[in-house]
Amino acid sequence: MSNTSSGGIGFTGLLTVLFIALKLTGVINWSWVWVLSPIWISFSIFILVFVVVLLIAALMDIKKEKRIRKMGRR
């Protein structure tokens, strides 16, 4: 039996932990906004992709409705 569960911290999580460690040890003197930037940048990209997918779906639905109405008029 093979257990092939994937998971883990991922690139964003690893980068965030690295930035936090560097900030707390004084190696970098960045603002906390930039230390935590891998999290909010990833979240922003996710939201952007989600909104684009919703817009495409809405436009396709509008186009489909127009086509149905056009066929009904004949």
Higher-confidence position of 73 and 56: 56
pLDDT of 68 strictly over 60: yes
Q: Is residue 31 part of a domain?
A: yes
Q: What is the pLDDT of residues 6-49, one digit of tens each?
A: 678 899 999 999 999 999 999 999 999 999 999 999 999 999 99
Q: Based on the structure, what is the number of domains in the chain?
A: 1
Residue labelled with tokens 């460690």: 21
Q: Is residue 40 part of a domain?
A: yes
pLDDT of 65 strictly over 80: yes
Q: What distances in angstroms separate CA 57 from CA 18, 47, 66, 68, 69, one per listed residue?
A: 38, 15, 14, 16, 18
Domain that holds residue 64: 10-73
pLDDT at 1: 57
Among the residues of 1-74, which ranges form H helices?
10-24, 32-35, 37-73
Residues 40-66, mean pLDDT to the nearest whole number: 96
